[in-house]
């Protein structure tokens, strides 16, 4: 009675699904599996943010809002961009979306045509190439190496520019690598975008989670070429509230709003008021962020040292909450390595296959130190027999 669309069939089946469904199956059998595969903070949403969400419900803020978001929130985002990022986007050059993911989706559909090429540093977050491909554009991976800590080389990037290239996607601090691109690299990429007439879409969802590195917004170098995407999910432990946002050239924001007006209409009204509290009460929020950041920092140190000591070479990432471990010692194929780690060590990790990271698996350290120590003990038994 139905025929699935070419577009839906073109979506790559995720190799993470095989591992995560096996993890669920083991858990159902009562086996205690520790998940190192989650992509969200293990902290609860801060109390002042929750209270604003509850107040919004009680005050009947439960109706449609403007497509681009409530004006107060767009003003608060505009002020946040100026205060924390040195970016100047007026409230009408800002749009609020249902999570960072929808901001990216709207941006790609607003900016890409079939056949356009999009440069994406690899290893990358899987949704970038999949979303780009949905528009009919072509994702082009820009390789980086574990030896350099997955640092982007602007010359490698520029060598991949063709007459069809339209866009560069950046994600620093990055998922899955945790790499933070330094200021000189960002300045060089911005200069390439200006010289070659390219748009930069920069995903800064993990901006606050940096450990001894400085996060710089590339939009400060090439504002007319940059759309900055951010959101409440990772910074304020608000993954389930679904609030993302973007700031950039007004015409791009207007096109994103047009797309949003025919799909989701607006982000959840209640969640918008909660995000407003996170941004307006920014000193309270900053205390929460620092508590989380220092916890992640300590966990990163423990997991990186532990994995390297086990002969699973792992570069030290300077941001986000992920590490990439080389699993040759477990199995030369990362999918098999992830299976063995799950079946024999009862630890769920994500194989690098979909991230364009062969021979590696991703572990998220958004979990307790106690779990991290237990994971290292289990992996120790696996590799040392």
Residues that bind ligand PLP (CB under 6 A): 39, 99-101, 125, 171, 175, 203, 205, 231, 233, 239, 244
Comparing CB distances to ligand PLP, the nearer of 140 and 229 is 229
Q: How far is the CB of 100 from ligand PLP (least distance, A)?
A: 3
User: What would the two tokens of residue 291 be?
Assistant: 């508590």
Closest chain position to ligand PLP (CB): 99
| Residue 264: count of CB within 10 angstroms of its CB | 16
Q: Work out the angle between the directed axes of helices 334-345 and 369-384 (0-180°, nearest 10).
A: 110
Q: How far is the CB of 240 from ligand PLP (least distance, A)?
A: 9
Of 301, 315, 41, the closest CA to residue 178 belongs to 315
Q: How far is the CB of 287 from ligand PLP (least distance, A)?
A: 22
Comparing CB distances to ligand PLP, the nearer of 98 and 158 is 98
204, 214 contact by CB (below 8 A) = no
Q: How far is the CB of 377 from ligand PLP (least distance, A)?
A: 28
Comparing CB distances to ligand PLP, the nearer of 192 and 267 is 267
Q: How far is the CB of 239 from ligand PLP (least distance, A)?
A: 5
- The full length of the chain comes to 385
Q: How far is CA 360 from the centre of its chain?
A: 18
User: What would the two tokens of residue 13 be?
Assistant: 């089946």
Comparing CB distances to ligand PLP, the nearer of 39 and 149 is 39
User: What would the two tokens of residue 318 be?
Assistant: 């300077």
Of 315, 321, 296, 379, the closest CA to residue 38 belongs to 321
Comparing CB distances to ligand PLP, the nearer of 99 and 154 is 99
- What span, in angstroms and rounded, lies between the C-alpha atoms of 313 and 318? 16
> What DSSP designation does 360 have?
E
Comparing CB distances to ligand PLP, the nearer of 211 and 322 is 322
Q: How far is the CB of 231 from ligand PLP (least distance, A)?
A: 4
């Amino acid at each position: 009675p139905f025929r699935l669309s070419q577009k839906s069939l073109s979506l790559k089946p995720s190799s993470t699904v095989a591992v995560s469904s096996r993890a669920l199956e083991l858990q159902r059998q009562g086996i205690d599996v520790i998940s190192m595969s989650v992509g969200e903070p293990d902290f609860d949403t801060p109390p002042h943010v929750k209270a604003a969400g509850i107040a919004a419900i009680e005050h009947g803020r439960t109706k449609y809002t403007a497509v681009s978001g409530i004006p107060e929130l767009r003003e608060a985002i505009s002020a946040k961009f100026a205060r924390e990022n040195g970016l100047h986007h007026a409230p009408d050059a800002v749009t609020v979306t249902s999570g960072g993911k929808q901001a990216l989706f709207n941006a790609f559909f607003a900016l890409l045509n079939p056949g356009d090429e999009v440069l994406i540093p690899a290893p990358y977050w899987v949704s970038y190439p999949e979303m780009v491909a949905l528009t009919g554009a072509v994702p082009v991976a820009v390789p980086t190496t574990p030896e350099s800590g997955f640092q982007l080389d602007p010359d490698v990037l520029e060598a991949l520019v063709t007459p069809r290239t339209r866009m560069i996607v950046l994600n620093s601090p990055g998922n899955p690598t945790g790499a933070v691109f330094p200021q000189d690299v960002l300045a060089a990429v911005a200069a390439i975008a200006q010289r070659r007439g390219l748009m930069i879409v920069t995903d800064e969802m993990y901006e606050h989670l940096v450990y001894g590195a400085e996060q710089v917004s590339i939009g400060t170098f090439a504002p007319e070429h940059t759309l900055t995407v951010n959101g409440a999910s990772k910074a304020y432990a608000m993954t389930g509230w679904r609030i993302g946002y973007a700031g950039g050239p007004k015409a791009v924001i207007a096109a994103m709003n047009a797309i949003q007006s025919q799909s989701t209409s607006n982000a959840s009204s209640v969640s918008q008021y909660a995000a407003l509290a996170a941004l307006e009460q920014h000193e309270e929020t900053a205390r929460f962020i620092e508590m989380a950041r220092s916890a992640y920092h300590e966990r990163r140190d423990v997991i990186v040292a532990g994995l390297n000591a086990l002969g699973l070479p792992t570069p030290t990432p300077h941001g986000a909450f992920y590490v990439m471990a080389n699993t040759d010692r477990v199995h030369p194929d990362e999918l098999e390595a992830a299976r063995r780690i799950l079946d024999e060590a009862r630890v769920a990790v994500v194989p690098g296959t979909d991230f364009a990271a062969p021979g590696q698996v991703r572990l998220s350290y958004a979990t307790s130190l106690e779990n991290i120590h237990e994971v290292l003990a289990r992996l120790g038994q696996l590799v040392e027999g």
